[in-house]
Amino acid sequence: MNHPFYQKPIKEQKRFIILAGMIIFSVFGLIISLAVLTKFYWLSLIAAFWLIISAPFVDTPTGKKSGKLHYYSPLFISEKLSNNKVIFHGGTLFDYYFVLDFSQSGRRRTHFIIHNYLEGILAFIEKHESDFADDTVLEGTSYILHAKTAQKLGFSPAQTDGIQTIILLLNYPTLTLSYSISKGRLSFPKLSRVKTYQSTLGKLKSQKEKIKFLKDKLKP
């Protein structure tokens, strides 16, 4: 996997994680201190959003190291199999920081991200087509994939429950930042476009050649 961070020496990776953690909690502590000293307690909301936005710079690499997260491409990550379901995630802000070429236009960045999704789905199929059952569910939430594109890949929209909706709302600042980076300009994603998609390994296997075709079409 061609991910610049994980190609660094282990000691350098550890130094980055420690430094990121120190910066995150220092800024958090500073904002909380200001809230208490000035009695502007609404600043604590900023502190909370700061943690949500910055946490991936520690959570993502430590999750990979612990085995909780698995990369199938630099911008397509999954959690461990649980109850016959695998939850996937697009790249986090941590991954965007290391993987994306910020000199590219927003259109090219978006194509690159989708290409990575397709690359990751193919890697998932190829790794597990013989050791996971065909009814194994792959599920994730995305603001990049359009419903039509998702259906072409073998995914169907899944109903978002109340807890997922709350998590989505809390993560809206992170979504906005990620979406803006992908577009190359300040952009606010419509929550109606952020959808949960679901498929099975069997469906994905049947769409394998179509996924390959789309991936090659979007090759950077």
- Per-residue pLDDT reduced to its tens digit, 184-193: 899 888 877 7
Q: What is the pLDDT of residues 157-184, one digit of tens each?
A: 887 666 777 777 788 888 899 989 998 8
- Computed over its alpha carbons, how large is the radius of gyration of the chain? 18
Count Cβ atoms below 10 Å from residue 33 Cβ, excluding itself. 12
Global pTM value: 0.91
Kindly state the average pLDDT of the residues 70-98.
94
pLDDT in the model for residue 49: 92
Integer Cα distance of 175 and 97 in angstroms = 14
Q: Across residues 77-82, what is the average pLDDT?
A: 92
59 near 89, Cβ under 8 Å?
no
pLDDT of residue 157: 86
Q: What is the bridge-based pairing of β-strands 137-142 and 156-158?
A: unpaired
Return the pLDDT at 208: 92
pLDDT score for 191: 78
Mean pLDDT estimate for the chain: 91
Which residue from 49, 58, 59 is spatially nearest to 23, judged by alpha carbons? 58
The whole-number pLDDT of residue 161 equals: 66
- Between these two residues, 86 and 153, which has the higher pLDDT value? 86
